[in-house]
């Protein structure tokens, strides 16, 4: 499987929010030598990665958390 590479903290948050909760078997998919962090979902056969430098440059954890919160609200029933 080839990981999907994203380039902003927000894009990363939205991609991960789609694979959280019951029914998604997720795992860390970091590639430390390549300076990438990521997560995968075994249930759906996907891996999402972001260069750590781009994550930090596009808002870091604050932007990630805000986007995660928005994505959860949008996908809530
Ligand atoms: Zn999934």
Query: Any idea what DSSP says for residue 16?
Result: H
User: Would you list the domain boundaries of the chain?
Assistant: 4-75
What gap in Å lies between CA 75 and CA 56, rounded to an integer? 26
Q: If DSSP codes are grouped into helix, strand and coil, which group holds residue 20?
A: coil
Distance 49 CA to ligand 1 centre (A): 15
Each residue of 4-60: pLDDT tens digit?
Answer: 999 999 999 999 999 999 999 999 999 999 999 999 999 999 999 999 999 999 999
Section 50-77 average pLDDT: 92
Give the pLDDT score at 77.
Answer: 53
Tell how far the Cα of 12 is from the centroid of ligand 1, in angstroms: 14
Whole-model pTM?
Answer: 0.91
Q: For position 74, what pLDDT does the model report?
A: 81
More confident residue, 2 or 50: 50
Cα 30 to its chain centre, rounded Å, is: 11
């Amino acid at each position: 499987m080839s990981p999907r590479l994203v380039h902003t903290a927000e894009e990363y948050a939205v991609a991960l929010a789609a694979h959280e909760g019951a029914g998604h078997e997720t795992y860390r998919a970091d590639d430390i030598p390549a300076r990438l962090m990521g997560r995968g979902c075994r249930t759906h056969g996907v891996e999402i990665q972001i260069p750590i430098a781009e994550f930090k440059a596009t808002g870091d954890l604050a932007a990630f958390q805000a986007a995660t919160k928005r994505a959860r609200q949008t996908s809530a029933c």
